[in-house]
Amino acid sequence: MRLIDEGLARLNSKIIRMANLSRETVELAVRAYLKNERLTEKIFNNSETLRILQDEVSELAVELIARYQPVASDLRYIKSCMEIAYGFSRFGRYAYDIMQVLEVFGDLSSCDQTKIIKANDIVHKMINLSIEAFINKDLAKAEEVDKMDDDIDDIYESHLSNLIKEKPQDLRCAVSATLILRYLERIADHASYIAEAVLYIVKGERRPRK
């Protein structure tokens, strides 16, 4: 065992903690929307914890670089952990933003939730796959996440163009759905960045950003 390995293990466990907490936070936010539950405080606290964990990951990464001057796969892993931690903290932030929509608009359970349910199903899978891809360094799963990102983009873009065509009667439902779809689409982007980071860790390759 190398001296750096203990530090890398600590980094890994922080990332996994962030992965689980950020997944849970996004799930809570979507549940609050679908079932009109008030989970603002819980989601705010989770989001704050994720932000603090992101700072800790950053500090630990810099410490490992300063102490061990890592190279090759160690260096790629540490750099990626910083990016991935940022991604997870964004999950928390967007979950909080979804919660804020409920705070502003109140009960939205009577609005048509079909599109959000559909988008959430995909985002939920993308989050899980990106976490599994990271934990198991599984390139096939990372690849799947990348493909699913296009589906989310399609849902969001077709929602926007329909909105303009249809001129919705209920602005409250239309605006809140647009915002929530936008936040889910951003979460999906970050899930695909996490998957891209797995490719970089394993093979040292970078895919051009879309």
Partner 1 sequence: MDIIIDVKNLNAWYGEKQVLYNVSLQIPRYNITAIIGPSGCGKTTFLRCLNRLHELTPGNRVEGEIYFYGKNFKGNIYDSKVDPVEIRRHMGMVFQKPNPFPMLSVYDNVAIGLKINGIRDKKKIDEIVMDSLKKAYLLDEVKDALHKSGASLSGGQQQRLCIARAIAYNPEVILLDEPTSALDPVATSKIEQLLVELKREYTIVIVTHNMQQAARIADYTAFMYLGKLIEFAPTEELFETPKNELTERYITGKFG
> How many angstroms separate the CA atoms of 104 and 68, rounded?
49
> How many angstroms separate the CA atoms of 191 and 210, rounded?
14
Q: State the nearest-atom distance from the C-beta of 71 to partner 1, in Å.
A: 4
Cβ proximity to partner 1: between 8 and 188 the closer is: 8
Q: State the nearest-atom distance from the C-beta of 80 to partner 1, in Å.
A: 12
- Residue 33: helix, strand or coil by DSSP? helix
Q: State the nearest-atom distance from the C-beta of 6 to partner 1, in Å.
A: 13
- Residues that bind partner 1 in the complex, under the rule CB under 8 A: 2, 4, 69-76, 203-204
Cβ proximity to partner 1: between 72 and 171 the closer is: 72
Cβ proximity to partner 1: between 17 and 137 the closer is: 137
Residue 52 phi/psi, 5-degree rounding, is: -65, -40
Q: State the nearest-atom distance from the C-beta of 50 to partner 1, in Å.
A: 29
Report whether 49 contacts 24 (CB < 8 A): no
Residue 66: is it exposed, middle or buried by C-beta count within 10 angstroms (0-12/13-18/19+)?
exposed
> How many angstroms separate the CA atoms of 142 and 172, rounded?
37
CA angle 116, 119, 131 (to 5 degrees): 130
Cβ proximity to partner 1: between 2 and 210 the closer is: 2
Q: State the nearest-atom distance from the C-beta of 124 to partner 1, in Å.
A: 33
Cβ proximity to partner 1: between 189 and 196 the closer is: 196
